[in-house]
Structure 1
């Protein structure tokens, strides 16, 4: 283990810095992208701010642990897809659902009522052309000063990474699936 020296740069008062809507991307092949986004949703909600979570791959009827908890806390969470779309029998239908979902999410972002909008697992439909990347980028370029957006999923497009203020890549080092351990309720849902 390497011991690191403490930083010596002076503290900058954030109140003096530019305040604007931030774009955060959680991408990569490792676990934790959605979990990190939901953590930000909890932080924002804890400050009394309005939060909305859209999940592009989950069905509207999905009720995993995060759905039950966020609903108890008063944080709206909405599934926009038809489950694991890569297993879909009708990709045209799946694509149509998430495109309609994007219209809802875009309207929410532009309305400015919510200070944080989470677009969970949006990278899959973006990377497959189901949602036009240019439409998402245009919306993000016009964020109101108080609206922050978090986008999650593997394979974030380069243009989105370039536009984002914060990008975190979750790297897979080891995963229990590869050892034959199945998904665990509360850990993998």
Structure 2
């Protein structure tokens, strides 16, 4: 909505979630990183356990966008947790700092907080990256996924958390200033 910046998404999804039996058919040996969305929690737990047992050296990230029953149990299987503001607020947190500081010091996480910026949690410390200022938002659909992709891209390249947060924030900002995902990098 050009008047108030809100959006309405009509979503029809006739696509079943991947189950363990299907996932086990994938040869994971060529992957440098495995990323999962925290959705079908019971099946995802089996998949994450399979990954940990069979690909111990491949980093795993888990996106926690919405609160789902039992999702917190999956945190221990991931090397990186990618939280959304929506999840944090649904859990009763009023700031990113408030939520991140309840995580164990050995967890690694990011938490996006919209136009305020993005936060990282590493070695028990919070790292903050301000969001780029935008003159105009054209299309924010997929900005969170774009941020996550930017984070993973930089982390795979062994960049620092601070540099990764800045890159991912800038990438998501570019996404918001255009329709679709063409030519973001």
TM class by shorter-chain length? 0.3 to 0.5
The one of the two structures with greater contact order (alpha-carbon pairs below 8 A, sep at least 6) is: 1
